[in-house]
Amino acid sequence: MNQKPTVFVTNFNPRFTGVSATTAAVCKIQRSQLDVALVGKPLSGCPSPLNKRKAISLSKIQPADKPFNIWHVRRNSEMQLAIFARDILKLPIKIVFTSAAQRRHSAWPRWLISRMDAVIATSEEAASFVPNVVSVIPHGVDLDCFSPSKDQKESWSKTRLPGEYGIINVGRVRPEKGTDLFVEAMIAALPRLPEATAIIAGATKPKDLSFRKKLVARIEQSGLTERIKFLGEIPSQDLPALLQGCRALVALPRYEGFGLTPLEAMACGLPVIASNTGYFKEFLNAHDEEKACGQIVPLEDYKAASKEIISLLLDGERFDKFSQNALLRANENYSAFEEASAINRVYEKLWKS
C-alpha cells in the first residue's frame, strides 16, 4: 500500500467462514487496484490487518482525491462499528454492506442495514429482503486457488484416506447445514460405490457436539465408520487440494444464504448435488440438462440425493459432461475478479455521487 487507504474492508470473525472466504477472494484482488486496508482478523492473500482503533484513526482523514472513505462491511458487528464511526464520531465515511440472506432479517440487523449508504445483494432474491440495493453481484471464486487436478487419483492418494476418490460435504457440522442428511445419503449410496469415501470437512461448535455424536453413532450402526470420515475444519489454503481429490460435492443444507463451496468445487471440475436453497439452482444451471453442472434435490430429501449421487458416479459420460460444464461455468460466470470489479464500480458510483 503506497498511501493512506480509502477503502476499509472489515473481517471481525476469528473463524474462517463462507463470508471470510468471499471477503478474502475479493480483497486479494482489490489490493492491487485500490488503496485498501483489511480491518480486524487476518485473511490469506490480503494486507496485514489494522486493528479497529487504527482504522478509525486513519478514517478521520479525508482522502486526497475522494470525498470520503468507504467501509465495506458484511456482518452485524462490522455495521455497528461503521455506523458509530460515521454517525457518532462524524468521520468522512460511507458504508457499503453485502447481503446474502434470502429471508427476512430480524429487527436489529434490519435497523443496521437501513443505515447503510449502499447495499450489494448477492442475488435478486436476497435483494428483495433489504432496502437501498444499488447492485446485485453474485459471489465469485478465486480461480488462482481453485482449479482441476491434473491427476485426481494422485490428489486423493495424498489425503491418505481410504478408497480412490472422495464425495465431499463442506460446512459446519450442524442441523441447518444438513450434515445429517449428507450422512443418510452416504449410508444409502456407498454400498453401490465401493471405491468412494465420504468426507465431512467442517468444524463442530460446542453446542453441536451432541448432534455430531448422534451422527457418529448412526455411522457406526451402519458399519461404514471407515468410509464416512469427519475431518474437522480444513485450513482455507488446504481446501483446494482436498477438493481436487474428490469427484463430487454434496450440499444439502436446510437453509443457505448463498453457498460458496459448490462454486469452489465447480472450479475444480466437480459436479454438485445440492438441495433447493441458496443460490444453488442458479449457478448449477440445473434447469438445462445440456449445460447443467449437477442436480438439485428437494429440501430434506436425502433419498433423492443418494439416487442422484449413484446415477452421477456410475455414468461416466454424464459425469464427464457435468464436470466440464461445472468448470466452464465457474470460470466464465463466477470469478472473484468479476465480483471485485463489480464491487469497485459501486465504490466509484458512490464517490461520484
- Pair 219, 225: CB distance under 8 Å: yes
* Same domain flag for 158 and 133: no
Q: What is the pLDDT of residue 11?
A: 97
Range of the domain at 135: 7-140+335-352
* Same domain flag for 166 and 231: yes
* Same domain flag for 312 and 348: no
* Distance (Å) of CA 175 to CA 205, 210, 212, 251, 281: 12, 11, 9, 12, 21
Q: Round to whole Å and give the CA distance between 1 and 318.
A: 48
* Same domain flag for 328 and 340: no
* Same domain flag for 108 and 186: no
Tell me the pTM.
Answer: 0.89
C-alpha cell at position 195: 471405491
C-alpha cell at position 129: 429482503
The 3-state DSSP class for residue 7 equals: strand
Q: Which residue has the cell 495424498?
A: 158
Name 321's Cβ contacts closer than 8 Å, sequence gap at least 6.
Answer: none
* Same domain flag for 280 and 303: yes
* Same domain flag for 166 and 313: yes
* Same domain flag for 239 and 162: yes
Asked if residue 147 belongs to a domain, the reply is no
Calculate the average pLDDT of the chain. Answer: 95
Task: Report percent pLDDT > 90 for the chain.
Answer: 88
Q: Round to whole Å and give the CA distance between 321 and 270.
A: 11
C-alpha cell at position 323: 464436470
Res. 264: pLDDT tops 70: yes
* Same domain flag for 165 and 308: yes
Q: What is the pLDDT of residue 211?
A: 98
Question: Band of the pLDDT at 1, cuts 50, 70, 90?
Answer: very low
CATH for 320: 3.40.50.2000
* Same domain flag for 128 and 187: no
* Same domain flag for 226 and 123: no
* Same domain flag for 309 and 193: yes
Terminal CA-to-CA distance of the chain, rounded, Å? 26
- The amino acid at residue 185 is A
Asked if residue 99 belongs to a domain, the reply is yes
Based on the structure, what is the number of domains in the chain?
2
Per-residue model confidence as pLDDT tens digits over 83-93? 999 999 999 99
